[in-house]
Amino acid sequence: MHEMSLAEGMVTAVQEQSKLQNFRHVKRVILEIGALSHVDPHAMEFSFEAATRGTLMDGADLEILSPAGQARCFACDSDVTIERRGDGCPNCGSHQLIVTGGEDMKIKALEVV
Amino acid sequence: MCTVCGCDGKGQTIDGHSHHHDHGDDGALNYGAGEAGVHVPGQSQTRLIEIEHDILSKNDALAAENRSRFLQQGIIAINMMSSPGSGKTTLLVETLKSLKDRPVGVIEGDQQTSNDADRIRETGAPAIQVNTGKGCHLDAEMVGHAMDHLAPEQGTLLFIENVGNLVCPAAFDLGETRRVVLASVTEGEDKPLKYPEMFAAADAMVVTKADLLPHIHFDVELLIENARKVQPRLDVLTTSATGAPGITPWLSWLNGLTLQFQEAAE
């Protein structure tokens, strides 16, 4: 459950932001968790609730955006979308794919007071 | 309808946006009734700030520090990852016995006990145990601290044995030079497909316990094929720490890496 340490890291990052951007409470957190990132959205939801309890993010809504996995296929020379790692190219079936997107794990935005 | 945001003032949201200000029972817009209790002209009580903050940025920054420290000191750091019991420590012990002519060091990650570091020290190699407690992976900060304590000499070949876990360690950059994943022949050939993040993040896969192959049903080629489905450029080294074919392919890979770095440094 590395999502727990990531959620705890998020709280620290948001606490730092609260000093820089002068806010006291977070009402909503918008996360981007790419389909090919290292985070399971359900585990993140669970960890988020536990890690934010008693902090300035307590009770905040968590919104998770999940951009699809993007890859470049070297066999058919095309840019494709893949659901998960290990999938073949949807055009030609080759596994000569290099992932080009959908790996990010970011706090996109905060709705704050 | 609220003229500010177009909502009906009853808490519904439009286009996925939640409600930015409070409506009183009489339909009044109460900017001063929000959580902050004041109204700053031009700024609503609630605001949306875009921060684009990478969740791993703190770890990645510390990993970058480790990486530059390794470079400065000519240290080659190998992050070794696998499921528990696939033979990381046994491979390391045999590796260290074969590397008597060069400086080596080991950072051992486990949730509890110093058993593995003790096994490593028996070979004469300096080792430091990092106990992660409830933690399921090593992170860059732990490795930085371990480096302070281990204080490896210039040009050390440093092995970082991660916590036995095929999931979590994949997400955490330690600043390593190379990432190696071990897969033993007593596991399934589909491990790379079941745990793709780990194999996708690896530079090399060491197949371990290959001396058992005559006694079990295991298709090494299928394992390799599956691993290359998630990482097409993966190096593969088939080994046994206790029998044939030995660990020569792995030692050669380490030597090749060392030469590559020595040439780059010159």
Whether B27 has a pLDDT exceeding 70, the answer reads: no
Compare B18 and B108 and report the one with higher pLDDT.
B108
Among B82, B101, B93, which Cα is nearest to B122's? Answer: B93
Q: Is B66 exposed, middle or buried (0-12, 13-18, 19+ CB in 10 A)?
A: buried
| Tokens representing residue B29 in the block | 């817009």
Residue in chain A closest to B16 (alpha carbons) equals A63
Whether residue B59 and residue A9 make contact (CB cut-off 8 A), yes or no, is yes
Cβ neighbourhood burial of B235 (10 Å; 0-12, 13-18, 19+) = middle
Between CA A27 and CA A58 the distance in angstroms is: 8
The residue whose two tokens read 């009580």 is B45
Domain A2-112, CATH class in plain words = alpha beta
User: Model confidence over B75-101: pLDDT tens digits?
Assistant: 999 999 999 999 999 999 999 999 999
Looking at residue B265, its pLDDT comes to 81
Q: CA–CA separation, B19 vs B7, rounded Å? A: 8
Average pLDDT, integer, range B61-79: 97
Q: Which positions in chain B touch A112 (Cβ < 8 Å)?
A: 46-49
Which residues make Cβ contacts (< 8 Å) with residue B215, sequence separation at least 6? Answer: none
**Number of Cβ atoms within 10 Å of the Cβ of B134:** 9
List CB contacts (< 8 A) between B181 and chain A. Answer: none
What one-letter code names the amino acid at B264?
A
Helix, strand, coil percent values for chain B (each to nearest 5): 35, 20, 45
Residue with tokens 């893949």: A82
Closest Cα of chain B to A89: distance in Å? 10
Q: How confident is the model at residue B127 (pLDDT cuts 50, 70, 90)?
A: very high
Residue B1 has pLDDT above 90, yes or no: no
| Strands ordered across the beta sheet of A78-82 | A78-82, A69-73, A97-101
pLDDT confidence bin for B44, thresholds 50/70/90: low
Q: How far is residue B9's CA from residue B25's CA, in Å, rounded to a whole number?
A: 9
- Domains of chain B, each with CATH number or no CATH: 1-49 (no CATH), 57-265 (3.40.50.300)
Q: Rounded CA gap, A14 and A18, in Å?
A: 6
How confident is the prediction along chain A (113 residues), in pLDDT tens digits per residue?
688 889 999 999 999 999 999 999 999 999 999 999 989 899 999 999 999 999 999 999 999 999 999 999 999 999 999 999 999 999 999 999 999 999 999 999 999 99
Encode A14-52: b = buried (16+ Cβ within 10 Å), e = exposed.
beebbeeeebebbbbbbbbbbbbbbbebeebeebbeebb
DSSP B11: S
- Judged on CB neighbours under 10 Å (0-12, 13-18, 19+), B101 is exposed
Partner residue opposite B196 with nearest CB, options A25, A28, A84: A84
A24/B34 touch (CB, cutoff 8 Å), yes or no = no
Residue spans per domain, chain A: 2-112
State the average pLDDT over residues B192-216. 96
Quick one: pLDDT at residue B41? 57
For residue B185, which of B124, B133, B236, B117 has the smallest C-alpha distance?
B236
- Using a CB-CB cut-off of 8 Å, the residues of chain A touching B197 are 38, 85
Q: Does B48 touch chain A (CB under 8 A)?
A: yes
Helix or strand or coil: residue B199? helix
List residues bridging with B110 in a β-sheet: B131
pLDDT of B25 higher than 70: no
Query: Which residues, in sequence order, are bridge partners of residue B158?
Result: B77, B105
CA–CA separation, A70 vs A49, rounded Å?
A: 30
Pick from B55, B197, B199, B226 the residue to mutate for testing the A interface (most A CBs within 10 Å).
B55
Contact B157, B102 (CB under 8 A): yes
Which residues are within 8 A (CB) of B91 and not within 5 positions of it... i.e. 6 or more apart? B80, B182, B206, B208, B239, B241, B247, B250
Chain B nearest C-alpha distance from A46 (Å): 16
Residue A66: count of CB within 10 angstroms of its CB:
14
